[in-house]
Amino acid sequence: MKKIIPVLIFGIVVVYVAVHPDLYIKYIVKLLGVDPAQNTQTQTAERKPEPKTRMDNPAENLFEGGAEGGKYVARVENNSPDMLRLALRESRECKGDDRTECRMEQLFYYVQNNIPYVPEPDGPENVQTPEQTLAKGGDCEDQSILLASLLSHVSLKPYLVIVPGHMYVMACGLGGSSGVSDRYNPAPTQYFDLTDKKYYAVNLKSIKDIRITASSGGIFDMIAMRGANDIDRFKNRLTYDSYPECSVFRKAYFTIDCKFPSEGTVLLFKANSPVSVRADISSIKENSYKIYHYNGMRCVMLDASYKGNAVTMGMEMPKYLDSKKKVYQTW
């Protein structure tokens, strides 16, 4: 009888646990000091992926604007003969397949360097036309409207960007995938003869970092001179300044990458007999500015009212980098 009682008690416990397993689990958990709900949350949190940063998605702080920007968008001129003439005049040195990107750069620096910043006077806001800003300068809104008007005439799609207390432009519709590049097939700035040699000069103007490809039907030399005045010194057999590391001699074909320390470099080709020389010049500049991706387009921020020699294309005022940016389509 004594042996039967423990067996009966054990059988009753087994049956009870089978019917009420949750009570048994809670008892064991309490005994061990483990909270299964807390453990499940911890495991779930460990599996949760890390959120993307702004570097992973630089367009995540761009948002479609509302009615606020309508009065500014209305001032942007997309079909103006005067704006077209000005845009083409100020970007006339841009040639080749990628001239759109070149024109963007030239027009940005035109507004930045030539249009003075004039603060808005006290009283109701006066949103100027592009022509008024050209005549007397303007604040950040006025300069942004002018720049957007110029860019829209060279196959770009500009947006106005509004951040707290400021406005600038986002130029979209850039080609390529790794940055802006400029490609030129420049016409010679001059031909001239000196003794029995023929000379062909190309002025690089504002280009500093380039890849030069040149070819001809005969042997020729290329001298990279520091400026146009060095050609005159060369003609008069005077001492001239050059870049020896980017000068090439006795070649019929070559490709060379050069980084000139200053702008205005002139390439002077010479040969023992008349020779046709073709020079394809492409920018090899590595762009440090951020490329934004918006509505399936590659875009660059352009703050032309942000003045100073150190301010370059693509730079934004640091205090606005992480701001919520309201963007307004202007075309």
Q: What is the pLDDT of residues 182-226, one digit of tens each?
A: 344 445 556 677 766 778 787 776 566 677 777 777 788 889 998
Residues 205 and 161 in one domain: no
The predicted model gives 172-180 an average pLDDT of: 56
Lowest mean pLDDT among 5-9, 163-167, 196-200: 5-9
Six-digit token string for 168: 């600038």
Predicted local confidence at residue 167, as pLDDT:
96
Predicted local confidence at residue 59, as pLDDT:
63
In a domain, 56, yes or no: no
Residues 170 and 73 in one domain: yes
Q: What is the pLDDT of residues 105-142, one digit of tens each?
A: 899 999 999 999 999 887 788 999 999 999 999 999 99
294 vs 59, 72, 116, 141, CA distance in Å? 6, 20, 30, 22
Place of tokens 């394809």: 280
Number of separate domains in the chain: 3
When mean pLDDT is compared over 56-65, 266-275, 285-294, 296-305, the highest value belongs to 296-305
Contact 237, 197 (CB under 8 A): no
Measured distance CA(269)–CA(290) in Å, rounded: 37
Residues 6+ apart with CB under 8 A from 102: 91, 93, 94, 95, 96, 182, 184
Higher-pLDDT residue of 37 and 69 is 69
Q: What percent of the chain has pLDDT over 90?
A: 32
In a domain, 157, yes or no: yes
Six-digit token string for 149: 């008007």
Q: Which residue range is the domain that position 119 belongs to?
A: 62-178+289-329
Alpha helices per DSSP H over the chain: 4-19, 21-32, 36-47, 70-73, 81-90, 99-114, 130-136, 140-151, 229-235
In a domain, 116, yes or no: yes
Per-residue pLDDT for 29 more than 70?
no
pTM of the model: 0.54
Place of tokens 């620096």: 109
What band does 89 get if pLDDT is binned at 50, 70 and 90? very high
The predicted model gives 38-65 an average pLDDT of: 48
Contact 122, 138 (CB under 8 A): no
Predicted local confidence at residue 190, as pLDDT:
64
Six-digit token string for 161: 């960007």
Measured distance CA(201)–CA(262) in Å, rounded: 18
User: How much is the mean pLDDT over the chain?
Assistant: 76
Measured distance CA(260)–CA(191) in Å, rounded: 23
What band does 292 get if pLDDT is binned at 50, 70 and 90? confident
Residues 264 and 238 in one domain: yes
79-115: string of b/e by CB count within 10 Å (b at 16+)?
ebeebbebbeebbebbeeebbbbbbbbbbbbbbbeeb
Residues 163 and 205 in one domain: no
Residues 35 and 67 in one domain: no
Per-residue pLDDT for 323 more than 70?
yes
In a domain, 52, yes or no: no
